[in-house]
Chains A and B, each alone.
Chain A
């Protein structure tokens, strides 16, 4: 009886966590060759994967995905108020 309650509780926790997570449909990985729109409120542009900050793209601004990918980051051309190439964390495009 107690075990069933614990399992039910765990399931409820997992459901609560899943519902609270941002919907994966709202942000996705970039497609190489596409000029993607930033869905995050702000997205740091870095000199290299896990590198130094060089600029910030804001929601609605665009990033031309050129590749390659490395360590969760992707290389490309940052438009917005940057207009140069750099690396952004992948997965924050509309």
Chain B
């Protein structure tokens, strides 16, 4: 490849990488959830907990043994509903606090 074309390709690659970094979505995850599992036979997993009306936006139903994350003392628990991370789909939501167990078992 001629040097001039190489220079252009390199420069455009740097530009594209810069653009990709600048467009990063607004969520870094500073508090890493502690590893746990679902200890209920089934547990509803909701997108949010609405302080005005309880859990809202059912995402899916988790089963016994599903890998989840929650850090007691850091992630909030509202009226028995715990902010949790579902490993696999890798998203946040709320499930019943009593369905979280097996901390650090994986």
Give the complex CA separation of A52 and B18 in angstroms: 28
Give the complex CA separation of A51 and B22 in angstroms: 22
Q: Among the listed stretches B36-44, B45-53, B96-104, which one makes contact with chain A, having 4 or more residues with CB under 8 Å of it? A: B45-53
Within 8 A of B (CB), among A29-44: 40-44
Please indicate the chain A residues that have their CB under 8 angstroms from the CB of B74 in the complex: 47, 51-52
Which secondary structure characterizes the binding site on chain A?
mixed
Neighbour of A21 across the interface among B22, B29, B56, B83, CB < 8 A? B22
Which secondary structure characterizes the binding site on chain B?
mixed
Neighbour of A53 across the interface among B7, B15, B75, CB < 8 A? B75
Whether A56 contacts B11 by the Cβ 8 Å rule is no
- Map CB proximity to A onto B2-19 as digits: 1 under 8 Å, 0 otherwise: 011001101110111011
Query: Which residues of B are interface residues toward A (Cβ below 8 A)?
Result: 3-4, 7-8, 10-12, 14-16, 18-20, 22-23, 25-31, 47-53, 56-57, 71, 74-76, 83, 85, 92
